[in-house]
Amino acid sequence: MHAVVLVGGFGTRLRPLTNDVPKPMLPIGNRPMIVRLAERLAAGGVTDIVLALGFRPDTFRAAFPGDRVGDVRMHYAVEPEPLDTAGAIAFAARHAGIDSTFVVANGDVVTGLDIAELVDAHRTLGTDATIHLTPVDDPSAYGVVETTEGGIVARFIEKPAPGDTDSRLINGGTYVFEPGVLDLIKPGQRVSVERETFPALVADQRLAGYPTNDRWIDTGRPDTYLEANLDHADTPDAIHPGANVAENARIERSIIGDGARIDGEVTRSVILSGASVAAGARVTDSLVWGHVTAGATLDHCVIGQDAEVPAGNHQHLRLPEPA
């Protein structure tokens, strides 16, 4: 079975971490997000992944020598220009010649969802497409779904305004598609799966939803990217074997990357590969890919690759400022 994985976005909300590195290549618990996703897709029966690429396709190719992740073959569909979600799915599916039931996944979602279970549910429901649903408290940043008792989607509202809907079930960003859905998407045009293709399927009662209560995080914002990482704190993945941790460093519920050097204090934070926290520096609830010098205290900060944080108290600092 094929899966199309959407990885063409610019990851703007995670800048400066995503200035040069696409969001799905950033690590979760010290392994690239896309690798963890590929493994979960493989466990659900996926043999071939087609990456729907736009921004920095080179980074992905370089990361997969032999174009494989374990037993999964990787394919690269590079859009000439961003085609939006449906445009990208159709471009990638045509590029790879997909002609049977396939999976689609947003590249920035971390979840425990069992892909094989979703595919089974899709076959039982017998619709053209089935989307994974997950409950959230505040659905305003997502696609919200209203379903009927039989699981058919009655309404799909992308990024609803307050009062638009009472539903708290959202589009979890993993789908199963019949290839016929591609006929709804005109080649070479910008088309949104959330704003155009799903509503068109809803009108014909050909879209189903499959809700689960699995752990689910969209890693698109600094706080959610941090949260997804901290799921791996206190596991063997937390401190990379190539990290350099001084004897009197203090690390609490954090992720430390390959080649990172820790002499100071790190709490509920991600220190990416090659970054450093000097003795006498303190980092809390932050994402750091740069160098935190002695006397610096960071709270809820995002520090880009190679940026230097001077001494002083910093809250909600982004360094360098995103362009």
Comparing CB distances to ligand GDD, the nearer of 75 and 250 is: 75
At closest approach, how far in Å is the CB of 65 from ligand GDD?
23
Pick the binder of ligand GDD from 82, 135, 179, 259 (CB under 6 A): 82
Task: Choose, from 31, 123, 159, 186, the residue flagged as catalytic.
Answer: 159
Q: Is 265 helix (H, G, I), strand (E, B) or coil?
A: strand
Q: Does 272 bind ligand GDD (CB under 6 A)?
A: no
193 φ, ψ (degrees, to nearest 5): -65, -35
Q: Does 108 bind Mg ion (CB under 5 A)?
A: yes
**Per rule CB under 5 A, count of chain residues that contact Mg ion:** 3
Sign of CA dihedral 261, 263, 264, 269: positive
For the beta carbon of residue 161, count every other beta carbon within 10 angstroms.
8
Q: Does 222 bind Mg ion (CB under 5 A)?
A: no
Q: Is 159 a catalytic residue?
A: yes
Pick the binder of ligand GDD from 49, 90, 108, 133 (CB under 6 A): 108
Distances (CA, A) of 230 to 2, 76, 237, 240: 30, 30, 10, 14
Q: Does 110 bind ligand GDD (CB under 6 A)?
A: no
Round to whole Å and give the CA distance between 100 and 83: 22
CB 208 within 8 A of CB 127: yes
Q: Does 218 bind Mg ion (CB under 5 A)?
A: yes
CB 152 within 8 A of CB 198: no
Q: Does 196 bind ligand GDD (CB under 6 A)?
A: no
Sign of CA dihedral 104, 53, 39, 226: negative
Round to whole Å and give the CA distance between 283 and 303: 11
Q: Does 209 bind ligand GDD (CB under 6 A)?
A: no
Round to whole Å and give the CA distance between 136 and 11: 22
Among Mg ion, ligand GDD, none, the one that 194 touches (CB under a kind-dependent 5 to 8 A) is: ligand GDD
Q: Does 158 bind ligand GDD (CB under 6 A)?
A: yes
H or E element: which one contains 87? helix 84-96
Q: Does 84 bind ligand GDD (CB under 6 A)?
A: yes
Pick the binder of ligand GDD from 64, 76, 102, 142 (CB under 6 A): 142
Structure tokens at 120: 């089974």
Among ligand GDD, Mg ion, none, the one that 265 touches (CB under a kind-dependent 5 to 8 A) is: none
Q: Which residues are catalytic?
A: 159
* Chain residues that interact with ligand GDD, rule: CB under 6 A: 6-9, 52-54, 79, 82-85, 88, 106-109, 142-143, 158, 170-171, 173, 194, 218, 220
